[in-house]
Every structure is written in C-alpha cells, then in structure tokens.
Amino acid sequence: MEPINAWLVDELARLSRLSLPEEERRAMTAQLKRIVDYMDILGRLDTAGIEPLSHEAPVGNVLRPDVVEPSLDRGELLANAPAQDGEMFLTPRSVE
Amino acid sequence: MTWETVIGLETHVELATRSKIFCPCTTQFGGQPNTHCCPVCAGLPGALPVLNEKVLEFAVKAGLALNCQIARYSAFDRKNYFYPDLPKAYQISQLYLPIARDGRVELHTSGGDSAVRIHEIHMEEDAGKLVHDPWIDQTRADYNRCGVPLIEIVTEPDFRTADQVIAYLEKLKETLQYLGVSDCKMQEGSLRCDVNLSVRPLGSDELGTRTEMKNLNSFKAIARAIAYEAGRQIRLLGAGGQVAQETRRWDEDREVTCPMRSKEEARDYRYFPEPDLPPVRLGEDYVAALRAARPELAAEKRARYQADYGLSPYDCRMITSDPALARLFEALVELGAPAKQGANWIMGEVLAALSARGMEPGDMKLPPAALTRIIALVEEGRINRNTGVQVFEAVFDGDGDVDAYVREHGLEQVGDTGLVAAAVERALAAHPRSVADFQAGREKALGFLVGQVMRELKGRADPKLVNDLLRRALGVPGAGKAVEKPPQL
C-alpha cells in the first residue's frame, strides 16, 4: 500500500475533480492517513477460513425479469440538465 | 533477430436481451436520442440498479460454452472515471469477482492446432454515444446505449498469429450466435475487439511492452492492424528504440495505428465494490440446468450434416454460417426435402434473395414448408427449376401458397411430350434461318430455338426435353443423350 502523502492526495483530488485549498488538503492527508492506519490494524486479524464479504447486507440474487417498461419522457429526462438542446445533454467539449 | 508476436484480446459482446442490464429500458438499436432512458441508466441520484436475470443467464451460458469455471459467488464493482459517456461518472463492471474464469478455446488454423486460455468473462454496462460539435465547442450526449448489457471476454496473451486471432473470433462469434446470447454484428458494434500486442525475441519467456489497439471494425481490419503494429514495434526495437505502453487507434483509411492517449493505470479507476448491487450466488442446480440446456453448436452441426446427409464440408460451412440458415435447413429436411437439394437452395436462391433485399438471415420470413413444396414440385417434374425460382421469389417474403400460386399462374410444367413436340415443329417451321445456322455449326442458334419453344409454352416445359426434341428433329445423331459438340457437316 502506497503511504499517504501530499502527492497521493493531490492525485486523488485530480482524479475526483476536486480542488482542495491548502488547509483542506492538509486535513485530508491526516484523515486519510488515519483511515489507512486503521485498515492496517484490521489487516493484522487472522482471517484464514473466513469467507470474503463483498456486500454488507445479508441479501443476494436480487434479480428482475427481462421485461421492457416505458422509458422517461425526453423532456422530463432533460429537464434537470444544466445544459441541453431539447435532444441531447450538452457538456463542455471533451475529446479523447 | 527473429521476433515473436504475442497477442491477447479483450472482446466486448452486446447481449441480446430485450431490456437493459440494470433497468427496464429497451435495448433496441437506434431510436431518437435520449428516448430509451430512465432515472437508473441516466444516473439520476437515488435511482437503484437491479440486475436483469437474462444477463446473468447469458453470461453463464457463454462461460460454459468457453469451458470456463463459473463463479458460485460473484459481484459488481464501480470503475470510476470522468468522461461524459456515462452520466454516473462510473461504469458498473466486475473486477474482483467476475462471473467466469479460466476457460479454454481450441483453434484450428492452416498453421496447426492451438488453444487459447480465457482469463475471465465479466458483465458490465455499455456507455452512451458522444458527438463532439466543433462549432459550439461542446459535446452532445445521447444516453440510449447507457446500460445496454455487455460481457467482456478477456484472453490470456496466447495468440502468436493474426490467423489464430481471426479463428478465435470466428469461433467466438459462431458460438455466441448459436447460444442465442448475442447477434455479434461487428458493423453495429455488438461485437467489439481490442487487441493487446507486444513483440519479443523468439525463445524469450518475458513479455514485451504492449500496446492496445482500438477501433477495429472488421476481421480484415484486425488482421491488417496486427501486421502493421507488429512491424512497427519490431522496427522500433530493432533500431534501439522502446515501445511506449499506450492505446493506439487503427486508422482504416491510412492503414496505420496512431496513439490515442497514454494508458491509464488500473488503479486510476479507483475500483470499489458496488454497494447498490448485492452479490450473486449461483447454486449447482442453476449451473447444471444451463449446462444441460446448451444447444447444438455450429461445429457439431457441421459434423452431423456431413455424417448424416453426406454434404461436403463447404456446403456445411455455408449453411451453418448463420443460425437462421441452419434452422431453415433442418426444417426443410424434417419436412422431407432431400438434404442436398435443401442445401443448394439455401446456398443459391435463399442467400441471393437475402442479399438482394439487404436482409439478415434472422429476419427471413420464408416458411420452410413453402420451400419444401417448391423443391418437391421440381423433383417431381411438375415445374421446372426456373419456374421454381419464380415461385420462390413470389413466396419468399412470407405469404402465398405455393400450389395456389403455381395453379393461378398456370406454371405447371407441360408433361405431354406430344404438346412439346408440336411446339418444336412450329418453331422449326417459323425460323428456317436458325435451322440453317445450326446446321452450319452455330450451336448458339439452338439456344434461340429452345427459347422460342419455351416462350410458346410460357416457360412451362422441361428445358431438357425441349433440347432433346429439337436436336432429334434437327437430325443430331445420338440426340437424347448429351451432345457436347455441334455436328460437323
């Protein structure tokens, strides 16, 4: 596991499209460090023979039949978009 | 130095379900932009995804057919990235516990037999379509494709040649089509393939730095892109350079690959378990039932057609090239048509009629009983083959009774030799010039006379009988048996 440092916090902020003022960045670094340290404590537990858990609720196999139902009216769908042209959602130009 | 090319594939296959993977919106292709969307696939806050049971079934069927271990416990993960093709800012996929692992596909190519290991198969959702508009400097997003179910089939880097890659893709396509899991139309994007390729000195065990190629829209493009990219990497390394790990786009027109963007590290996607979807647990009985329900696949059908009906390997390949053609063939045989006749009509008239209409075999409406009846009428000599084709055209699009059509259009063949002989006499009397031409050695003149007789009898005579009677009347020795050359007078 990579140690939590200023570089990693900046990188996570970049990937999450967050801009952190210096003060928050310092606070975030300390908090993330505490979280990871706690994970290290958990990591010391002997988990041999214990099934991995990927979900906290004791449910599984929630499935729906393959049946088509009406979609949203387009006007309604686009209504909350910050920018749209009546047909499509508009976003700042993004090119790979 | 001799170089070896090492290739692995990531193939995305769109599943043939009616509704999307996590919501009940239609998966239908096309449609006005943003009319196949709901709060779930449009990523509205608070909307909860629910897995489509058919997606699970199709993924397991594909896994079984590719000889994979089916996970009894599998779960979904979020792949996080900011790009407006997915409005949630993450794609629901499977990273940690995919539905199937450790498969194997046997390949037969002219270079020999080989096997490719399947690393894993996972279920995921497709993304939307973006149109970059340079005029308004904005990107327009259509989310109809968001949430269309996909499986991604990842192989180990086991391919060494483009031939092996194509053989694998053909087998994959055929298998998934016969399972009814996907229509695998490359041109519509329901089968998309990314090629990971590296080169290394022959004999080395280490993998070289690989590039990933995208935008490969046909088998031909894949073969060419592999040849180009392997050559590019070998030249680069041979000149003392290094291969950059990157994604490259195949440029179909220029036949080159170009860099797209530097490949993001897997951890950049910050995968984590999808909290909105509970895990999937599969019982032995569920997997066993799907295993038992596996339909006969194309290769098995080809072997059976050869053994049971004596068809040639070529015929077998043609009539199994699409599941709908194989279904038609089996229906014809079941209804009593001779197998070879059935195969010939499918390879000839059926394929021609489909291509003339720009139709896929799966959309064909021709009732098998109608074609069986046409084949029987031709076999019995009640109509000649040309008339058969005419009737076929009339009933191909779905309605029309073959016998009624033949009766109403008076197409039944003139079986009365006397009637045909009389027409022959009249044709000879009416065209002395052609008779003279023929006797002067011009074989073409006979064709004209046959045409005249057929016309008088409205195409209903057996052309072979007309030919024989004409030759006999013209005094050709041995007429009635096949005469290859015009007589020398």
Q: Does residue B208 register a pLDDT over 70? A: yes
- Determine, yes or no, domain membership for A18: yes
Asked if A42 is an interface residue toward chain B (Cβ–Cβ < 8 A), one would say no
Q: Does residue A1 register a pLDDT over 70? A: no
- Determine, yes or no, domain membership for A62: no
Q: Which contacts of A23-26 are long-range, i.e. CB under 8 A and separated by 24 or more positions?
A: none
- Determine, yes or no, domain membership for A22: yes
Q: Does residue B101 register a pLDDT over 90? A: yes
pLDDT tier for residue B157 given thresholds of 50, 70 and 90: very high
- Determine, yes or no, domain membership for B105: yes
Q: Mean per-residue pLDDT for A75-92?
A: 92
Q: What pLDDT is attached to residue B414?
A: 66
Return the biggest CA–CA distance within chain B.
Answer: 95
Chain A / chain B CB contacts < 8 angstroms: 128
Amino acid sitting at position B475: G
- Determine, yes or no, domain membership for A65: no
- Determine, yes or no, domain membership for B478: no
Q: Which of residues 88-117 of B touch A (CB under 8 A)?
A: 96-97
- Determine, yes or no, domain membership for A32: yes
Asked if A77 is an interface residue toward chain B (Cβ–Cβ < 8 A), one would say yes
Q: How far apart are CA B91 and CA B74, in angstroms?
A: 17
If asked whether residues B237 and B339 sit together in one domain, one would say: no
Is residue B257 within 8 A of residue B231, CB to CB? The reply is: no
In terms of DSSP H, where are the helices of B122-189? Answer: 162-179
Is B52 within 8 Å of A88 when comparing Cβ atoms? no
Min Cα distance A79 → chain B (Å) is 12
B250, two tokens: 């195949």
Q: Does residue B331 register a pLDDT over 50? A: yes
Q: At what angle do helices B323-334 and B298-309 cross, to 10 degrees?
A: 30
If asked whether residues B279 and B341 sit together in one domain, one would say: no
If asked whether residues B238 and B111 sit together in one domain, one would say: yes
Asked if A15 is an interface residue toward chain B (Cβ–Cβ < 8 A), one would say yes
Domain end marker among B251, B284, B317: B284
If asked whether residues B394 and B423 sit together in one domain, one would say: no
Q: Which residues of B touch A83 (CB under 8 A)?
A: 138
Is A55 within 8 Å of B273 when comparing Cβ atoms? yes
Q: Does residue B252 register a pLDDT over 80? A: yes
Domain end marker among B234, B256, B284: B284
- Determine, yes or no, domain membership for B483: no
Q: What pLDDT is attached to residue B150?
A: 97
Q: How many domains are there within chain A?
A: 1
Burial of A48 (0-12, 13-18, 19+ CB in 10 A): exposed
- Please give the residue that has the higher pLDDT: either B459 or B229: B229
If asked whether residues B217 and B365 sit together in one domain, one would say: no
Q: Does residue A57 register a pLDDT over 80? A: no
If asked whether residues B171 and B313 sit together in one domain, one would say: no
If asked whether residues B422 and B397 sit together in one domain, one would say: no
pLDDT tier for residue B41 given thresholds of 50, 70 and 90: very high
Mind giving me the DSSP string for B22-80?
SSS-B--S--STT-S--TTTTT-TT----EEHHHHHHHHHHHHHTTPEEPSEE--EEEE
B130: helix, strand or coil: strand
B365, two tokens: 């409406």
- Select from A55, A72, A78 the Cβ nearest to the Cβ of B38: A72
Q: How many domains are there within chain B?
A: 3
Q: Does residue B17 register a pLDDT over 90? A: yes
Asked if B19 is an interface residue toward chain A (Cβ–Cβ < 8 A), one would say yes
Percent of chain B scoring above 70 in pLDDT: 94
If asked whether residues B403 and B421 sit together in one domain, one would say: no
Q: How far apart are CA B401 and CA B409, in angstroms?
A: 12
pLDDT tier for residue B413 given thresholds of 50, 70 and 90: low
If asked whether residues B10 and B117 sit together in one domain, one would say: yes
If asked whether residues B380 and B247 sit together in one domain, one would say: no
Q: Which of B321, B319, B364 is nearest to B337 (CA)?
A: B319
Geometric angle at alpha carbon B445, from B444 and B450, rounded to 5°? 100
Instruction: Give Cα A33 to chain centroid, integer Å.
Output: 19
The answer to which of B273-287, B310-324, B347-361, B424-438 has the lowest mean pLDDT is: B424-438
Range of the domain at B402: 298-408
Domain end marker among B390, B408, B426: B408
Nearest-CA residue of chain B relative to A70? B25
If asked whether residues B142 and B61 sit together in one domain, one would say: yes
Q: What is the residue whose two structure tokens read 């074609």?
A: B371
- Determine, yes or no, domain membership for B482: no
- Determine, yes or no, domain membership for A35: yes
Q: What pLDDT is attached to residue B435?
A: 87
Is B141 within 8 Å of A71 when comparing Cβ atoms? no
Q: What pLDDT is attached to residue B362?
A: 86
Range of the domain at A5: 1-43
Is A90 within 8 Å of B139 when comparing Cβ atoms? yes
Helix/strand/coil percentages in chain A, nearest 5: 40, 5, 55
- Determine, yes or no, domain membership for B104: yes
- Determine, yes or no, domain membership for A64: no
If asked whether residues B44 and B191 sit together in one domain, one would say: yes
Q: Does residue B143 register a pLDDT over 90? A: yes
CATH number at residue B441: 1.10.10.410
- Determine, yes or no, domain membership for A12: yes
